[in-house]
Amino acid sequence: MEKRRPSGPRQPPAPRKNARSASPLAPEKTRSNERRRPAEAATGKSAPQRPAPAGEGKAAGHGAAKAGPGKERSRRRLVKTERLPRQAVARAVVAPKSKALSDREIDQTPQKLQKMLAQAGVGSRRDMETLIAAGQVTVNGQPATLGMRVGPEDDVWVNRRKVAWPFAADKIRVLVYHKEEGEIVSQDDPEGRPSVFAHLPRIARGKWLAIGRLDFNTSGLLLFTNSGELANRLMHPRFEVEREYAVRLLGELTDEQIRHLTEGVQLEDGPARFDVLLDMGGEGKNHWYRVLLREGRNREVRRMFESQGLTVSRLMRVRFGPVTLPPALRRGRLMELPEEQVAALYKWTLREQAE
């Protein structure tokens, strides 16, 4: 009986969070967070996180979850910016503070008909001008005329297909694709050859537009967008957007041939010249060059070298405007630009074309 000692109700153990908050490490984390927050508020960016030591990944993650909503939000921002390698976009496109295109105000002002149709993804402005001239476009039941303006209240039809007003806060998308040799940039090929469009995701509204074509035997960077306006700004000859290519020749250029190609040569469809022509070296019969020009006529690069009696054995586009082919993007694969980089690309076109 003496061994059975009466006792009152046992006290529950102290909560783990109280014990943790009493730890000398907790105040240090709190003070560290307080020092970090003013810098984050000033720049709009979260401070980089220090990697956890080996074997402490779970503990570090658990502590971060308990540190408060501010730190958790900053971790989400860090993860969001890792969606695309930095090499995918040149300096002009990287603008984290740019406003996303999906946040633009809805534009209800009347627009030129060909611009409205291009923005809706029906086709390029040139294609729309051809359709309008051919009488295949109607507005409010009447044949359309080139240059007429339409608004959101107008009823626009193209070949028995109603076209919705596109100037709203729809998300503008841009895909980066690494084209392989042996693919065509067309959705309709009588020969049934492989098409780059077979690799693209389905789109609920409009269609994918290729920004600058590549011929059957050319590989490299190919951009797609659902915005006819953005496609027009990047492709139209009057905007002179740069295209950069890596070229492998069977043979080596002489100084005189380099002078001809940079000063201008006469082709069947008019004169052409390279703005930049760099010798990248090579071994044996193969020699590599980097060339830059500001237009995209059919097989233009190949025809320019053929005018000098040289054959292009390999041709690869590595840059279009400010967008560079990501080194980590394998052939036949694609990636989508994040919204902030799409917005920066759109603003780049506005800035370049305003100068």
Same domain, 143 and 232: no
Percent of the chain with pLDDT over 70: 67
Same domain, 115 and 198: no
Range of 247's domain?
A: 174-354
Same domain, 181 and 328: yes
Same domain, 159 and 178: no
Nearest to 234 by CA among 147, 316, 176: 176
Spell out where 72-183 has E strands: 111-112, 137-139, 142-143, 149-150, 156-158, 161-163, 174-179
User: If you average pLDDT over every residue of the chain, what do you get?
Assistant: 76
User: Is residue 11 in some structural domain?
Assistant: no
User: Is residue 187 in some structural domain?
Assistant: yes
Known active-site residue 215: yes
In this predicted model, what pLDDT tens digit does every residue of 54-107 receive, in sequence order?
444 443 344 444 444 444 443 333 333 333 333 334 333 433 333 444 434 445
- Global confidence as pTM: 0.58
User: Is residue 213 in some structural domain?
Assistant: yes
User: Is residue 102 in some structural domain?
Assistant: no
User: With bands split at pLDDT 50, 70 and 90, how would you rate the model's confidence at 135?
Assistant: very high
Same domain, 148 and 295: no
User: With bands split at pLDDT 50, 70 and 90, how would you rate the model's confidence at 188?
Assistant: confident
User: With bands split at pLDDT 50, 70 and 90, how would you rate the model's confidence at 166?
Assistant: confident
Same domain, 263 and 157: no
Cβ-Cβ contacts under 8 Å for 282 (sequence gap 6 or more):
248, 252, 288
Q: Record the tokens describing residue 207, joined without a space.
A: 């269609």
User: With bands split at pLDDT 50, 70 and 90, how would you rate the model's confidence at 256?
Assistant: very high
With a cut of 50, say whether residue 291 has pLDDT above it: yes
d(CA 32, CA 35): 5
User: Is residue 57 in some structural domain?
Assistant: no
Contact 306, 153 (CB under 8 A): no
With a cut of 60, say whether residue 39 has pLDDT above it: no
With a cut of 90, say whether residue 118 has pLDDT above it: no
From 163, 196, 223, give the residue that closes a domain. Answer: 163
User: Is residue 301 in some structural domain?
Assistant: yes
Contact 336, 175 (CB under 8 A): yes
In this predicted model, what pLDDT tens digit does every residue of 297-351 receive, in sequence order?
999 999 999 999 999 999 999 999 999 999 999 999 999 999 999 989 988 988 7
Catalytic option among 107, 127, 215, 275: 215
| CATH code, domain with 193 | 3.30.2350.10
What pLDDT, on a 0 to 100 scale, did the predictor assign at position 119?
A: 79
How many domains would you assign to the chain? 2
Q: What angle do CA 294, 300, 302 make, to 5 degrees?
A: 130
Same domain, 263 and 204: yes
